[in-house]
Structures are given as structure tokens and as C-alpha cells.
Amino acid sequence: MLVEEQGQTCMADDDSDSDEARVLRPLQAASCKYRIAFGPRAGQKVLTVQGAMPAPANERVQTSAAGQVVLKLKTPWRDGTTHLVMSPLEFVQRISAVEPRNRS
């Protein structure tokens, strides 16, 4: 199912009658647009970093000294963004939006 939010269209779960679908829909829409779904920064864009990070990492996900989650992108974006920086709550929101549901 397509969801229209703030002038952008994103894919969302077709199971529109379930409580789970109502909870996941804003997470999915925010994730598609690199926006924060909940919390004090709801609606704001995720902070992006262009260029190299100051500390090399062996993993794609790490935490900064400030406690932020730093996610290394698999490939740089056209604008030069190589990493996304977000709070742990924002990171969990993004992961929960893209993680497949248990269909049991």
C-alpha cells in the first residue's frame, strides 16, 4: 500500500486494520523520508555527514562519544553523504520500520 505524507509517497503495510499496521505506518513513512518518527525531534530530518568520519570503523553501526548512533551507508549518496547520525531511539525506530514482521 502507498502512503502519502507531507507530499511524498512511501510503501506501507497493506494490513490497514491491525493495531500493528497503525503503529508501523508512521515509522515506515518516516523511514522512507529519513525523518524522525517520534520523540522531541519528530518530523525533523536525520543528521547526515558528508565526507569521511574522523574515526575509522570496522562495522557499519557504531556509537559516537556523545552517545549518538552512527550508521555508515553502503554507498555514498549523490550529495556526498556517507553516514547518518541519530539518537538510539531514532535508530530503533528506523530499524523497526524496515525489519520484516513475524507472520506467525
Cell 494490513, located at residue = 15
CA 72 to CA 51: how far, in whole Å? 11
Cβ atoms within 10 Å of 67's Cβ, excluding its own? 8
CA 75 to CA 81: how far, in whole Å? 9
Q: Read off the C-alpha cell for 70.
A: 552512527
Q: What is the mean pLDDT of the chain?
A: 76
How do the domains of the chain map onto residue ranges? Answer: 2-98
Residue-wise pLDDT for 50-87, tens only, equals 665 547 455 788 889 999 999 888 889 999 999 999 99
- C-alpha angle 25-84-68 in degrees, rounded to nearest 5: 95
> According to the model, what pLDDT value does residue 6 have?
56
> According to the model, what pLDDT value does residue 56 have?
45
